[in-house]
Chain A
Amino acid sequence: MLGAIWSVLNPIVFLAVFTFVVKILGNETPHYAVFLLSGLLAWNLFSVALGNGTRSVIDNGNLVKKVSFPREVLPLAVVGVALFDFLLQSCVLLIFMVVTGYGFHLEALILYPLSFVTLVVFTTALVFWVSAVNVRYRDVQHLIGLALLVWFWMTPIVYPGGLVQDKLTAPTAPFTPHLWTVYLLNPLTPIISGFQRALYYTVTAPPTLGTPHPVRVLPDVSIAWLAGVIGLVLAGSLVLLYLAWRLFFRLSGDFAEEL
């Protein structure tokens, strides 16, 4: 029970801090809470699973060395725990959206299951890979910590992806529009954008009294195009999962010796 409270507390605190910071810096994104949480919850699933998954085998070294059991349980359990947290946190977001009367857009909701499945497959693949490699090279976990930090800011979670698109595809931008293509190569960008499009929906917010000009929020791409890109990421993730699974099985025979 206490665990559930912690799991829900994390996004709430995160939301409070970011709302505060963004208020000071000036924020034009309407309904920032829904925007932030729709992407952040997906990111939390990914980063918590990857962070804990890296250490999943070595943290359970005393079991691995002395008990025979399917080793894949360890990384899978970490993904399972992260999924459970995600479920709880999503319930909070859902309640928040219903209570505040934020509307749902059925035509975009199709992106939700697609993004979710892709995220889970991609995350599981990486967790298998790093948990196996970290047994031999223990500094992989530090590397993952650093990578997650960079990755977080390279993905449109706290800032609107639409703004990035505008900047990078502007006629005056260097190498236009190739930097935008490079930005999209981050597999989490389409996945997170998928979650945001499904829940937050707004690409460009119309002018309001407070902000007399339209506000760009999400990347200006069609739902079909976004679904296509996520589908590509899913296909790539499935291949990655297969390779990571095989690597894990090859290395898992030596876990008991390496630990």
Chain B
Amino acid sequence: MSAAIEVDAISKKFRLYREKPSSLKQRLLSGHLRAEDFWALREVSFAVESGTSTGLIGHNGSGKTTLLKCIAGILRPTEGTIRYGGRVAALLELGAGFHPELTGRENVYLNAAFLGLSRKQTDAVYDDIVGFAEIEDFMDNQVKFFSSGMLVRLGFAVAVHVEPDILLIDEVLAVGDESFQKRCLDKIRSFQADGRTIVLVTHALDTVVAVCDRAVMLEHGVVHMQGTPMDVVAELRHRLLRDDPDFVAEEGTREVEIRDVTILPGGEPGQRLHPGEDLVIEVDLLAHEPVPDVDAAFAVVSAHTNEVVLVGRTSDMGSTLGPIEGSRRMRFRVPATDWVGGKYFVSVGLEAPGGSPYHIQTQRYSFEVVEAERLPVPLVVDARFELEDP
């Protein structure tokens, strides 16, 4: 496979002026210019294999849109180069590339021309474009009278019908009703089936997992992580949680302290839990002073959905730990259950029964569930039936 896009160590510097002179007059009157350099991207490198789909994700302001604009050729990187293995079409913003004074029809030709199509080639796909966008009746109206949904539909319709080798999409599909979003996804899938390349910037992380083959996470303008969408999305979700002002990583009086937690999938050291294995969470704790009783608890959070999937508490299991003095080791044993594949985070807490927390560590530990091979055999379940007179 060859690379459709090769981003080689690109950096993008913006100059932030305190007071940017927007006229020659101001420029001449204000002598020294005070400007600060802001690096929106630093040494970003990654490659998109031909025929694959990559999701670019990150916080707001992490540089993903700047990166996409560089790839689209709208911004010129300050340093580094980008190589392409085909024709690029970009779908950046609502109504981007549309001229408000022109009619829908004229704008289709204008946009197709931007994407490198001749008038004749556009004639050939014009009906398909209008059909996909479902705005036949409005094509001779000026675009400034279009609703935002109509603009997005038309923009997307043009971009996918000019048959680019590489399609760049930035967060536009969020507009439009569900049926259109579904058709967009269908179109994207048929696009993928044709062996075309897609780069997608979005905050809809589920879309990245559902659509992309790879994901790249940016943070403060550098590539923080790249890998499978599942892993990268999990990492971003975790980061987002950490940045939440309500999120407290650790709290408690520390009279009894969590020294260490080891996740033991199947009772063995490791990171990957296979189907049918028990999950063992081993907690080393240290009581600085003897305490009469400790209630221990754990929670397992799916990194993918960010929801708590499992909780356990010693007091609910029949007893608490009892008096603790010095260092002790305890284990939770979670029997095998129907795990969904993916990454999980583990929170652990110690507290006085019915009292204040000694020590709580939120989502500090993690493990991964290896998805069970789906057997092509129908499952025989323990179903029941009833028979009664109508």
A residues sitting closer than 8 Å to B (CB atoms) are: 62-69, 136-140, 143, 253-254, 256-257
Q: B interface, by DSSP: helix, strand, loop or mixed? A: loop
Among the listed stretches B87-95, B174-182, B353-361, B365-373, which one makes contact with chain A, having 4 or more residues with CB under 8 Å of it?
B87-95
Decide: B75 and A66 in contact? CB cutoff 8 A.
Answer: no
Q: How far is the CA of A257 from the CA of B15 in the complex (A)?
A: 10
User: What B residues does A137 contact at CB under 8 A?
Assistant: 21-24, 27
User: What A residues does B14 contact at CB under 8 A?
Assistant: 257
Decide: B75 and A139 in contact? CB cutoff 8 A.
Answer: no
Contact of B114 among A69, A136, A143, A256 (CB under 8 A): A69
Q: How far is the CA of A66 from the CA of B74 in the complex (A)?
A: 7
Interface assignment of B86: CB less than 8 Å from any CB of chain A:
no
Decide: B88 and A68 in contact? CB cutoff 8 A.
Answer: yes
User: What A residues does B96 contact at CB under 8 A?
Assistant: 62, 65-67
Contact of B97 among A63, A138, A143 (CB under 8 A): A63
A-B contacts at CB below 8 angstroms, number: 47
Name which residue of chain A comes closest to B110, CB basis: A63
Please judge, given known A-B contacts A63-B97, A256-B74, whether A68 and B24 are in contact too, CB under 8 Å.
no
Q: How far is the CA of A129 from the CA of B73 in the complex (A)?
A: 22
Within B59-91, the residues touching A (CB, 8 Å) are 69, 72-76, 88, 90
User: What A residues does B74 contact at CB under 8 A?
Assistant: 64-68, 256
User: What A residues does B24 contact at CB under 8 A?
Assistant: 137, 139-140, 143
Name which residue of chain B comes closest to A249, CB basis: B76
User: What A residues does B25 contact at CB under 8 A?
Assistant: 139
Within B17-57, the residues touching A (CB, 8 Å) are 21-25, 27
User: What B residues does A256 contact at CB under 8 A?
Assistant: 69, 74-75
Interface assignment of B187: CB less than 8 Å from any CB of chain A:
no
Q: How far is the CA of A137 from the CA of B24 in the complex (A)?
A: 5
Q: How far is the CA of A138 from the CA of B20 in the complex (A)?
A: 12
Q: How far is the CA of A256 from the CA of B90 in the complex (A)?
A: 15
Interface assignment of B99: CB less than 8 Å from any CB of chain A:
yes
Name which residue of chain B comes closest to A64, CB basis: B74
Scoring A68, A253, A256 by chain B CB atoms within 10 A of each residue's CB, the highest score goes to A68
Q: How far is the CA of A5 from the CA of B25 in the complex (A)?
A: 39
A-B interface, 7 closest residue pairs, ranked by CB to CB distance from nearest: A253-B76, A66-B96, A68-B73, A139-B23, A67-B97, A137-B24, A256-B74
Name which residue of chain B comes closest to A140, CB basis: B24
Decide: B73 and A66 in contact? CB cutoff 8 A.
Answer: no
Contact of A66 among B27, B76, B92 (CB under 8 A): B92
Q: How far is the CA of A66 from the CA of B114 in the complex (A)?
A: 11
User: What B residues does A257 contact at CB under 8 A?
Assistant: 14, 75
Interface string of B234-245 (1 = CB under 8 A from A): 000000000000
Q: How far is the CA of A257 from the CA of B69 in the complex (A)?
A: 11
Decide: B114 and A67 in contact? CB cutoff 8 A.
Answer: yes
